[in-house]
Amino acid sequence: MREVSIIGIGQTDVGEHWERSLRDLAVDAIIAAIKDAHAERVDALYVGNMLSGELTAQEHLGTLVADWGGLGGAEAFKVEAADASGAAAVRLGYLAVASGVHDFVIACGVEKTTDADAETTNAAWAYGTDAEYEGNQGVTMPSMAGLLMRRYLHEFGVPREDFAPFPVIAHANGANNPHAMYRSPISAEVYARAGMVADPICMFDAAPMCDGAAAVLLCPSEMARRFSAKPVRIRASAAATDRLAVHSRTDPLFLRASYLSAQRAYMHAGVGPSDLDLFEVHDAFSILAALALEACGFAERGKATVLAREGAFALHGRTPICTMGGLKARGHPIGASGVYQVVEVAQQLRGEAGANQIEAHLGMAQSLGGTGAAAITHILEG
């Protein structure tokens, strides 16, 4: 296997892009990544996306984006792993370069949610659950997260207000990210007063569905310096699954996929959680961030909110999370979020994180699919 590096990154602003279509957003991100690397050739394109067929009646997305992105002739197809689709595209790109099959590969994540009405998008997002035994009961993603959070509050005796640090951190960091959807800090008091989306999930526990695209250009590390002054090496790429339905898991508060993919990544990179300078965690809901931090070894079971309150995950804490706003404040363009996370870790490692820059040499990104049934983890080194 060859070492793989990121030589180009690109991202669109995250938000409601009324004037830009699914293909426009993907092409914008791809062009930015190619330009960043001054690359002249792309062998393959993997597009992470969850809902193009359902929301915009567009499948065959790999071919469409290759065509409109000026990559005609390149190998191209769509990869789907619910909310982790973008991270799946990065992993596929990594495998293609590491294996020696391709030299220059783009992994792009894109989602266009605002072309459909809210009920349709709400229903489609929940297609990442078990359609016959969860979906048919009328569940939504916020209510599925609500089931996990209610049980967490019950088992660990944590008050709901203790989850405030997760969105407070995300919004504080998003305020300094020009690409973020929400750029206003919030306070714990505002969190405590917020209206319920799916009790106990409040407005500030839930990342917003929106539009966006991000892309990375990968090549063998031995060639990377020819294209980038600051190549970012992929030290580990690992994926794992859990039982799809929450009710089928032996312990719903243990995200087994998150644990397994992190352990595989740690093993591959020869590092542990304490070696990481930042962690882009999947905070589609505050409870998922807490459970992932526990599964990945950053907090003991039931203790993530305690550490969060002590400041461990703030920008200058022990392990900063959501350093560019996370899914909560940067926004959660579903199938694109996994690539945004990788791009943001790369920004930190390249020293391009602006006002949110931290001292960072090693960073991790983990994207979760649905209620955590899939997890894809990347460890990057600058």
User: Would you tell me which residues interact with another protein (CB under 8 A)?
Assistant: 117-120, 122-123, 126, 132-134, 136-140, 142-151, 154, 196-201, 243, 245-248, 252
Contact 158, 305 (CB under 8 A): yes
Q: Of 37 and 206, which CB lies nearer to another protein in the complex structure?
A: 206
Q: How far is the CB of 252 from another protein (least distance, A)?
A: 7
Residue 214's φ and ψ, nearest 5 degrees, are -140, 155
Q: How far is the CB of 285 from another protein (least distance, A)?
A: 11
Q: How far is the CB of 153 from another protein (least distance, A)?
A: 9
Q: Of 194 and 358, which CB lies nearer to another protein in the complex structure?
A: 194
> Rounded to whole angstroms, how far apart are CA atoms 13 and 10?
10
Q: How far is the CB of 124 from another protein (least distance, A)?
A: 8
Q: How far is the CB of 68 from another protein (least distance, A)?
A: 29
Amino acid at the residue 338 = G
Q: How far is the CB of 190 from another protein (least distance, A)?
A: 20
In terms of DSSP bridges, do strands 105-111 and 4-11 run parallel, antiparallel, or are they unpaired?
unpaired
> Rounded to whole angstroms, how far apart are CA atoms 339 and 205?
22
Q: Of 153 and 175, which CB lies nearer to another protein in the complex structure?
A: 153
Q: Of 194 and 223, which CB lies nearer to another protein in the complex structure?
A: 194
Residues 6+ apart with CB under 8 A from 33: 8, 9, 10, 106, 108, 215, 216, 217
Q: Of 198 and 265, which CB lies nearer to another protein in the complex structure?
A: 198
Q: Of 122 and 263, which CB lies nearer to another protein in the complex structure?
A: 122
Q: State the first-to-last Cα distance of the chain, in angstroms, to the nearest integer.
A: 20
Nearest to 371 by CA among 169, 146, 196, 80: 146
